[in-house]
Amino acid sequence: MTIPELAFFSQTGDPVILEIAARRGADFVVVDVQHGPYSRVNLRSQMQAIEAGGSRGFVRLSAVSGENVGAALDSGAHGLIAPLINSADDARDLVRFAKFPPVGVRSFGLSRQSDLTTLSIREVNDRLELFAMIETAQGLANVEEIAAVDGISGLYLGPTDLSIALGGTRYGDPSIVDAFDDAAARILTAARVGGKKAAFHGRTSTMIGPRLEQGFTTGVLASDLTLLATAIETNLEEMRTLEVGR
């Protein structure tokens, strides 16, 4: 039996939340730069908080560029999740910006990740994890070619954007359930054929569980904002039903 990777996704980027998630056993913790607050100084502290909790820090980029990739890696990220990967060329750009020569063009500079006294350039390249998000119709159409790109570690199904791309209004929209399931199966098959991981994120274990049972290798609980909102709403509703002073 293969034990899946279980990770946590943060949109607040709060270092306390990041460290708590790391200490609670997340295999890695993702800081969302695409839709969350971001600064290079904060990102460094966020990666430090995750490491203090005993886990690995990943970053979801806002977009693939040399500047964005370099900033995330220099801050100490152990892995990157790249949104809107629509083609094999997009995936190759991610690898090119993220890897040191001769594989890529990443520049070496003094940073949190600049200590090469114990790791060679090759080892740094090999240890870095790169996930390509499949979340558009174009990305889905090219998923087999994306999965075949050397240096890509895994495919990451973006459930909400892919649902919208398939004609739905949200993840779980009844009108696209079959189309979404077919897309998920195609992404999983492409990952397996390409020797890659297959990641899926969701708001609850109930949402993620069926994909792990299907064969996805990585489940990401997303996000801290969603969990907080749900907990507040649920507990307030429960308190409103109490027979207090009646």
Decide: 91 and 149 in contact? Cβ < 8 Å. Answer: yes
Report the 10 Å Cβ neighbour count for 29: 29
Evaluate whether 144 touches 109 at the Cβ level (below 8 Å): no
Catalytic residues: 35
Q: What is the DSSP string of 154-178?
A: EEEE-HHHHHHHTT-SSTT-GGGHH
Question: What's the DSSP call for residue 61?
Answer: -
Q: Which two tokens stand for residue 72?
A: 């995330």
DSSP output for 127-143: H-EEEEEE-SHHHHHTH
Q: What span, in angstroms and rounded, lies between the C-alpha atoms of 81 and 64?
A: 10
